[in-house]
Structure 1
Amino acid sequence: IKTNNIEKYMEMTTLSEFLSIMNIKIHNEYQEHALKRLYKHGYIALGDFTLPNGKKADVFAYNESEIVIFDVKVSKEDLLSDQNWKKQLPYCHSFYFLVTPELRNAAEKIAIKNKCGLYVEEEKSMKLIITDTANKEIEHADKLRLAANRKLSQKHIYGY
């Protein structure tokens, strides 16, 4: 395309960059919705939490008895190609995908196959579609809670 029509190439490049920026914006909005929902339901929640294996959870939340992780997916390519979410499973009792309405069908198949939960974003709220049924036991839950508390303290003290 670039060699045949430079104007068309530039239009496609600009559109691609715009869509990427839009996906990041949507991802951040969904992440914020999940954090607020979990907080309202009695969880301590934080975003972009690095797990002991180095993988980053979009949303990590806990209460007295449960650790929950949400993985936000806003593009079909990311949902179908990314397998890093599986490396987050050992660090939570419940794992949920949070997806756009357009990704619901594809995400349902993945969630059912892997016994994960699924929420779909609907008009600035989240609708539970599938409940996580894996009932996982996790090791070192107290260490994870302590690490999350330290991260929250760091944000409060240093601002990052």
Structure 2
Amino acid sequence: MATHAELTELFGAEGVITLPRGEAAAGGVPDADAQVLAEVGLPAELDVIFSLAAPGAHEAFTLVPIDTGEGIVKVLCLGGPTGSPDMRYCLDLEDGYVILLTLGEQPAAEIVNTTLADFIEFLYRFGLRFQHIAAVDDRQADEYTEQLRKYLEARDPQAFAEDDNWWSMVFDRLLGKEL
């Protein structure tokens, strides 16, 4: 998993935000995830993919009540895709998954990553990708992106289990395979 030092090297000291462990624990975040948020943190911004300050309701690090039809479940908002006021990445406090919550008249949720650590690793590796492809041609960028997908898929196969999973669609778009 990416470390705080790796994140700050890539995103800058001001570009990585941590959540105090006590604050996370008070919100019901499980100990292991509270430790990750306190000691590793999240990038404040990753072009298109992630923003702690995504527009719309539900700010990062706030609890969001979700009506599942069987009851109310609380998830911790982590941020959202840049410029998407109706989508939020959230940590499922019960199962530990990072989900992508689509808000609106017909709310929906899908698993993005099976753990918070995997989610942070994906964001970190994506940041490295942006840095790498800036200095290479399109063919090399595609090769790097294919290798990145293989690495991330081996790390968290659930994130790519379906063609319409979030990460599957992101990579398809990057590789020009979108329908």
With structure 2 as the length reference, what TM-score do the two structures score? 0.29
Higher helix share: 1
With structure 1 as the length reference, what TM-score do the two structures score? 0.31
